Structure 1
């Protein structure tokens, strides 16, 4: 039996998305249990918990939406709107996590950074609420664009219908760039500031006696590894949204599915890095594997 490249990529996409849902569900369960026990979570873990929860939903909606598009050759606008809502929130949560790392770890001596270090943890609930509001605005924008397009397409004039399609592409291209391009720019800025902070810190260390355990350098390096790795896939993610909106690659193209596999794999691997870099997550994983080994023996 022979399989087309599209079918192979579809299967890979579904399998890795289900694995990502399992991984993010585990992170939500661990952090949720800690929140129930202590009635509080550190600010960074709160962002991670929200990010894991919405990534769980994002992977699930991506499977449903892409499966409907692939099987029935039509776009489901309901699931598309839900995906757009979840995707916008996920992009902003990823950005807030990068900003949080940048503010907490960076060693700048400017008063603005001192003020941000003091305020960032208290501002996390507002950042989360702001992400939800932006997600709602994104969904409203998507629904409004669809309604306007449907009403304009009721006209049977061929020239007018062509203009409607051009308006639809232009509208949602601007929508995607605004909702995903803005957090991407802040994400990139946070990485650049962290890199400059690490460079400045290393320059300072050259003129002083080096410490055997430089926790600041280690924190900079750990954060940059996680963020810089995800930056590659975040870039491809924004490009994919732009290409999809412009309809350069259709949903039925194997190249589209190959790109989605790469992009969503990058999101999954970023979640893996977040999980393995957390001591409490590693501890929960060890306990889980130990219990499975005991049960299997």
Structure 2
């Protein structure tokens, strides 16, 4: 029998699951339909489609993990299911983060304005190699997730050993200390894509500052598409950095939640916040991306007309 807070948790997390699936599914569907119509797909749409697919899988794994962790914690802690779920979570987590980083870098290269030879070379090459870059993201995520899964599987014996320990302190050392290595390492490795996105953000801000300074010297009173593109890209990258920061802060909270008094409540709250990353950032992409936003408006208008008829 579940308590009230557990019922609330299940309702919220299922609501997040539905919204996340609809939002990311919408991104993938719009780009796929456009791909079919035009017989080709742009680099930005290709990245967005792959990002949406990875996040659909990530949200599914996260919701499954959250429900089992909260409602069936005893089974979860003594079953190899934790190894399987964490392996899939690591894979789709890395894939999503790297795809998001590729999106941030792509915005930077296409929108920013610098005269450095390396920047110009990357700007010219990015469309030609974007498919290989995404394949490289897959090649990075797969071995990391497999190594994490193997490490957790190897350390699975601490659960069995802990069952035979009577001393609480000894149980803690046996059942927790080895778990830190793969979990903490997987968190630390994401510093690389976070740093790349942060650098892209700072360079975008610098490019916008230089562009604004030049426009002030040649003020015309007309709309400035370049400035608007800069602002949109900065909003997207900023939202990603904020959501990713919260995501890993609360991932660490879940990892060390056993040290807290209200262990279960902390885990439930953290799991709810964690899902906001693949959900919230995708919704922001829909709002800021012109094609996705316009397609959503047209869909609402068609539905309104259909209802009137």
Alignment of 1:144 with 2:117, yes or no, is: no
Q: Name the counterpart of 2:240.
A: 230
Q: Name the counterpart of 1:110.
A: 116
Q: Is the 8 A contact 1:25 1:53 kept in 2?
A: yes
Q: Name the counterpart of 1:15.
A: 15
Deviation sequence 1:74-132 (CA, Å, 0-9, x none): 15222221121111100111111111111111111111111111011112101110111
Q: Is the 8 A contact 1:243 1:249 kept in 2?
A: no
Higher mean displacement: 42-51 or 146-155: 146-155
Alignment of 1:199 with 2:205, yes or no, is: no
Root mean square deviation of aligned Cα: 2.7
Q: TM-score, normalised by structure 1?
A: 0.88
- For residue 139 of structure 1, report the CA deviation from its aligned partner: 1.6
Separation in 1, partners of 2:129, 2:136 = 10
Q: Call closer, same or farther: CA 1:176–1:125 in 2, change over 3 Å.
A: same
- For residue 151 of structure 1, report the CA deviation from its aligned partner: 5.0
Alignment of 1:220 with 2:220, yes or no, is: no
Alignment of 1:257 with 2:268, yes or no, is: yes
Separation in 2, partners of 1:262, 1:60 = 15
Residues 25-174 of structure 1: matches in 2 within 5 Å? 25-73=25-73, 74-75=76-77, 76=81, 77-151=83-157, 162=173, 165-174=176-185
* Matched residue count: 295
Residue of 282, 287, 294 corresponding to 2:293: 282
Secondary structure of the structure 2 residue equivalent to 1:253 = helix
- For residue 222 of structure 1, report the CA deviation from its aligned partner: 1.1
Separation in 2, partners of 1:66, 1:52 = 21
Separation in 1, partners of 2:277, 2:248 = 13
- For residue 56 of structure 1, report the CA deviation from its aligned partner: 1.2
Separation in 2, partners of 1:213, 1:175 = 45
Q: Name the counterpart of 2:279.
A: 268
Q: Call closer, same or farther: CA 1:61–1:147 in 2, change over 3 Å.
A: closer
Q: Is the 8 A contact 1:106 1:194 kept in 2?
A: yes
Separation in 2, partners of 1:187, 1:85 = 19
Higher mean displacement: 281-290 or 148-157: 148-157
Q: TM-score, normalised by structure 2?
A: 0.85
Deviation sequence 1:11-68 (CA, Å, 0-9, x none): 2122022111011111111111122232321111111111111111111111112112
